[in-house]
Amino acid sequence: MSSVIFHRPEDAPRRAAPLKPGEAVSDTRGRPLRDLRISVTDRCNFRCVYCMPREVFGKDHVFLPHSALLTFEEITRVARIALTQGVRKIRLTGGEPLVRKGIEKLVEMLAQLRTPEGKPPELTLTTNGSLLARKARALADAGLTRITVSLDALDDALFDRMSDSAIPVATILAGIEAAAQAGLKPVKVNMVVRRGMNDQEIVPMARHFRHSGHILRFIEYMDVGNSNGWRMDEVVTGAEIVRRIGSEFALRPVQPQYRGEVAARWAYADGAGEIGLITSVSQPFCGNCTRLRLSPEGQLFTCLFAEQGHDIRALLRSGATDQALTDRLAGVWLVRGDHYSELRGSAHRDHKIEMSYIGG
């Protein structure tokens, strides 16, 4: 990640006065801090062509050493402080979070946290599903609330072409069912749609997950990072996806449940469930983005398409007080003005962080 600029702790914005206990923060566009996405590792056992293409992340690629990663205790401390500033949802991601040794212990530690109102945060995890069948029960027992699984095709040959993993689709489907049986439901299934590669799977995926109790979500192919060779003509818009599915199954729009909900929701008219559309390219939702991201080695990012991060690890390892950490997190969020997806095309960035490093 040498191409990404990291701010030193002393460079981060500072508040004129200390943040009061339980005081929520909003950025320069009035967006509250509600979601903390924690990438626990930059490693993954897949080499998806839109995320970690093998020609970039090959056998010679240098990943972060374990000593550079935030410890579970450090992650939990940041999360605890973030809850006092308005965070109510924590998502673990990667890389592939299930390759981080002892991930269940981190889930258990985070599940014990409480908001100022005394409530536990919503605690979720996004995974490629390859290890989920063996870990679902332990994750649920540790206190995980819900899980999201990435699956870009049902056809084995196509899935292998996209994931470059040699792992059969049946393994991912088994993980989804194991998660549901463990109580991590409804399981959300994310499909990144890329024109000319897997867009022919849109309707078969919809057909497969109807009546399943799982929620299938289609994600427009995004220009995250610099490694995937993104082109606008490869984007299948959410509107087109709805038209394709609607030509076979009648759909009706569903109202969002809360501010900052990422996916536009559509229900099957016959009651067979619902789908979601994540349309950050064709219909950006920057105005309601409430997400702060924490990288594996302790950099805070305020946008998925950011070039710069703010170092929090140095503070954590310097003996800083909770008040100092509180002020630092607040200072980063208060000056946030990110809205890259609204500017796409007029705001080219050469050194965006990679999705494999910060999570989706």
Q: Which of these, 52, 99, 344, 36, lies nearest to 226 by C-alpha position?
A: 52
d(CA 319, CA 315): 7
Q: What is the largest CA-CA distance in the chain?
A: 60
Structure tokens at 101: 């040794």
Question: How many C-beta atoms surround the C-beta of residue 73 within 10 A?
Answer: 10
The pLDDT value given to residue 21: 58
Q: How far is CA 264 from CA 239, 249, 258, 259, 275, in A?
A: 11, 17, 11, 12, 8
Structural domain span for residue 13: 5-358
Q: Which residues contact 142 (CB under 8 A, 6 or more apart)?
A: 104, 105, 107, 108, 111
Q: Which of these, 169, 188, 150, lies nearest to 360 by C-alpha position?
A: 150
Cross-strand partners of 308: 5
Q: If you ran DSSP here, which 8-state letter would residue 26 be given? A: B
The pLDDT value given to residue 359: 65
Question: How many C-beta atoms surround the C-beta of residue 58 within 10 A?
Answer: 10
Give me the helices (H) in 85-146, please.
103-111, 132-142
Asked if 99 and 129 count as a contact pair (C-beta separation under 8 A), the reply is: no
Structure tokens at 64: 């972060």
Place of tokens 């100092």: 324
Q: How far is CA 91 from CA 63, 106, 216, 223, in A?
A: 22, 12, 18, 22
Please state whether beta strands 264-268 and 188-193 pair in parallel, antiparallel, or not at all (unpaired).
Answer: unpaired
pLDDT, one tens digit for every residue, the chain (360 residues): 434 444 554 444 544 455 565 678 999 999 999 999 999 999 998 888 777 888 888 888 888 999 999 999 999 999 999 999 999 999 999 999 999 999 999 999 999 999 999 999 999 999 999 999 999 999 999 999 999 999 999 999 999 998 989 899 999 999 999 999 999 999 999 999 999 999 999 999 999 999 999 999 999 987 665 555 557 889 999 999 999 999 999 999 998 876 657 789 999 999 999 999 998 887 877 888 999 999 999 999 998 877 789 999 999 999 999 999 999 999 999 999 877 666 665 555 566 566 566 666
The pLDDT value given to residue 46: 85
The total number of structural domains that make up the chain? 1
Tell me if residue 194 falls in helix, strand or coil. strand
d(CA 321, CA 315): 9
The CATH code of the domain that includes 282 is: 3.20.20.70
Q: What sign does the CA torsion over 191, 298, 354, 341 have?
A: positive
Q: Which residues contact 343 (CB under 8 A, 6 or more apart)?
A: none
254's enclosing H/E stretch is strand 251-254
The pLDDT value given to residue 194: 93
Q: Which residues contact 99 (CB under 8 A, 6 or more apart)?
A: 41, 43, 44, 45, 131
